[in-house]
Structure 1
Amino acid sequence: MTTTTRAAVVESGGAPFTLSEVELADPGPGEALVRMVATGLCHTDLGVASGGLPFPLPGVLGHEGAGIVEAVGPGVTGVEPGDHVVLSFTSCGGCRNCRDGHPAYCATWLPLNLIGGRRADGSSTISRDGTPLGGHFFGQSSFAERALVDERSLVKVDPEVPLASIAPLGCGVQTGVGAVWNVLRPRAGSTLVVLGAGAVGLSAVMAAALTPAARIIAVDRVGERLALAKELGATHTVDAAEADLADALALLTDGQGADGVVETTGSVAVLRQGADALAARGTLVVVGAPPFGTEVALDVNGLLPGKQIVGITLGDSETQTFIPALVQLVKEGRLPLDRLIGTYPFAEIDQAVRDMSAGKTIKPVLTF
């Protein structure tokens, strides 16, 4: 007994998303069948679709899903049919980091979420005409009308909040917010710099605006995004296409440097500029991911005044606590996520990809 559903399949690296009938396995232990209502489109999906990561293709991607539980497998206790859920990353639940409240640093994170394409036991969740496809992406593969989801990917949320308005919380938004709240934790009077004003960077700006940080400086090369950053809480902006970043940041921080920097661009040149702009005892949070194996040169003596460079995955958040808190902030209008979202019918996924790549839409959300 399998479920047939329509999914956006990437046939090979660099190929477009094409709609195709696929079969989902029945929910196994610790899994649920979710009817998708909306799913965000993230740069990670595009990176994998381009063939830039060793994910098995043809496959079904999608990792910012939101929907309604239809059925649950054996042993599932956290959700039941009818529950509204936001889908996030999965994790094993048993390793040291999972037990310590840091599931984004799960010992099995890479194969379970990003590159494995299958369940932990090696079995397939999605097939087409009897042939297994790459699936289980972030424990969900939500570019489909129905998804088979790991219970540890599921977060039960307030059913009064429209799912299309909170779909991006599972990855991009919690990444930017978590960089600020979970790592930088700005104190009164802090100066924060956000490098890149895309979905993750603007989420960091919104998060910083909910802290006692005194200065929030957004940096980008696109004027419209900088204008939006100001509306979302940035106190200053720097257009990197026109100004020298080092000079501009020195001027805005009175020569002291930044207490916290969030690097979202994935550019090693920008990362280096961020490190150089840190104040003594300042912290740079590295969010943007360049291709595997990329290295960056650092001025070692420049780091000695107590500077820290910290990598982060998915905001280092414990999703069951963090995501419902973000949903509440969206509901109250204190996290104005709607300013980032553009919605598209699921069938127009390729248009959404084009608009995102061209910078027309900051966070495309596909609706079913």
Structure 2
Amino acid sequence: MQIKAAVAREAKQALSIETLELEQPDTHEILVKVLATGVCHTDLVVRDGMLPTPLPAVLGHEGAGIVEHVGAGVTKVKPGDRVVMTFNSCGTCPSCHHHDSVYCHEFFPLNFNGARLDGSSPISKDGEAISGNFFGQSSFANFALCNERNVVQVPDGIELELLGPLACGIQTGAGAIINALKVTPGSTVAVFGVGSVGLSAIMAAKVCSATTIIAVDQNAERLALAKELGATHTVNVNDCNSTEEIMNITGYGLNFALDTTGLPPVIRNAVEALAPKGTCGILGASGPDAEICLNETHFMSAGRRLMGIVEGESHPETFIPELIRLHQAGFFPFDKLVRFYEFEEINQAIADSESGVTIKPIVRMPH
């Protein structure tokens, strides 16, 4: 079938809206009529050639829509179901068997190679190979193919176009707090970097009843929003030393720190602000060769911990509906992060994300 899609053809260049061909779903694949897709930092990293997804490619990995057609082996959803599409996993490795699909042994090839595991792409243009299957979906398009393992059915009663970012960025921040760090009531938490992921973490820390929630950033407007969403304190790194200020606020340091920037100096500051037995989680890296430097004595002598976290260590089938329930109950107002764009404005949405004008852009697809 023919689809409209935004194609990344050259690194660091604008996406081009083109008519492409999309295959019909294979045995365990699902054709989704995409209503809207979030723009995530990972899309931009891949567009800029920092990860080895071959270009040209159709990116997009926070898609929400309606099931149009299913492969012969699909039993999880049926045509007409409301769904979001999240990361893909193999379902057969030890991690998947232990319900840790975020650490699937095939996570990288399934999500970043731009092809199915057999090397084929479901997207082409007049015989030209186009990388598809990005995060098992390539949802910068009005139709996308996903897999039975990375589709999540969502309930009625909430705007479907709003829900795509729950499948990646928002579940990453919230899940890091709830699932990975397991923040406890009465604890002290600091989030370093308050974009969409960090602000989701702030909201989640409030849900977990942390009593001291510190937002650390250099953007005064983002810090003000963090205060509105649950932060009890804000630290602007343009005005002070973040570690010293956190010590002033807490008296002894943090039970939990979360870095969303991937910047080694910021990660070091986060670790240095930990109390004894405190844990710091990190959600990204500033580049493939980035390294973290810590003071060994400070780190080891008080039992401090540093952990990497992927996709919030979420089990999407249960965690995404949980976030929706929290939102509907008024405890997780992630809609305050969102601005909608039409499909023809996708490059503007990307530019606004990069400049910080918009926290979480969502692009509505044409039908």
Q: Which residue of 2 aligns with 1:354?
A: 351
Aligned match of 2:308:
311
Task: Give the SS at the match of 1:274.
Answer: helix
Check if 1:257 corresponds to 2:253. yes
Q: Over residues 100-149 of structure 1, what are the superposed CA-to-partner deviations in whole Å (9 max), with x where a residue is unaligned? A: 111010000000002x1100111111111112211111100000000011
Separation in structure 2 between the aligned mates of residue 355 and residue 100 of structure 1, nearest angstrom: 39
Q: In structure 2, what is the equivalent of residue 337 of structure 1?
A: 334
| Structure 2: distance between partners of 1:257 and 1:250 | 5
Could you tell me how far 1:306 is from its partner in structure 2?
A: 1.2
Aligned to 2:122: 125
Match of 1:272, as an amino acid?
A: R
Correspondence for 1:296: 292
Structure 1 Cα separation of the partners of residues 160 and 185 of structure 2:
34
Deviates more, 1:324-333 or 1:217-226: 324-333
Supply the AA of the counterpart residue of 1:292.
P
Determine which of 53, 56, 63 is the counterpart of 1:55.
53
Give the alignment of 1:6-155 within 5 angstroms.
Answer: 6-114=4-112, 116-155=113-152
- In the other structure, the counterpart of 2:177 is 180
Compute the displacement of 1:241 (Å). Answer: 1.2
Letter in 2 for 1:342: R
**How far did 1:7 drift?**
0.2
SS of 2:214's partner is strand
In the TM superposition, 1:236-275 aligns within 5 A as 236-254=233-251, 256-275=252-271
Between the aligned partners of 1:310 and 1:159, the Cα distance in structure 2 is: 36
Q: TM-score of the superposition, structure 1-length normalised?
A: 0.97
Query: What aligned pairs does 1:277-292 form with structure 2 within 5 A after superposition?
Result: 277-292=273-288
Partner Cα distance (1:29, 1:160) in 2:
31
Quick check: 1:215 aligned with 2:212?
Answer: yes
Higher mean C-alpha deviation, range 297-306 or range 335-344? 297-306
1:165–1:337 Cα contact (<8 Å) kept: no
Q: Partner residue of 1:363?
A: 360
Q: Report the more deviating stretch, 163-172 or 54-63.
A: 163-172
From 208, 223, 228, give the equivalent of 2:225: 228
Task: Calculate percent identity across the aligned residue pairs.
Answer: 47
The alignment of Structure 1 onto Structure 2 pairs a total of residues equal to 364
Partner letter of residue 362 of structure 2? V
Q: Is the 8 A contact 1:10 1:60 kept in 2?
A: yes
Q: Which residue of 2 aligns with 1:322?
A: 319
1:288-328 deviation per Cα after TM superposition (whole angstroms, max 9, x unaligned): 32111211111111112111100011011111111111122
What letter matches 1:21 in structure 2?
Answer: T
Q: Give CA deviations for 1:177-205 in whole Å, capped at 9, x if unaligned.
A: 11101122122321000000100000000
Partner Cα distance (2:188, 2:316) in 1? 27
Do 1:27 and 1:73's aligned partners in 2 also have CA atoms closer than 8 Å?
A: yes
Counterparts of 2:209 and 2:51 in 1: how far apart (Å)? 39
Unpaired runs of 5+ residues, structure 2, are: none
SS of the residue corresponding to residue 297 of structure 2 reads helix
RMSD: 0.9
Contact 1:195–1:262 (8 Å) recurs in 2: yes
CA distance in 1, matches of 2:20, 2:156: 29
Deviations 1:230-261 (A, max 9, x none): 1100000001111111211110111x111100
Secondary structure at 1:227 match in 2: helix
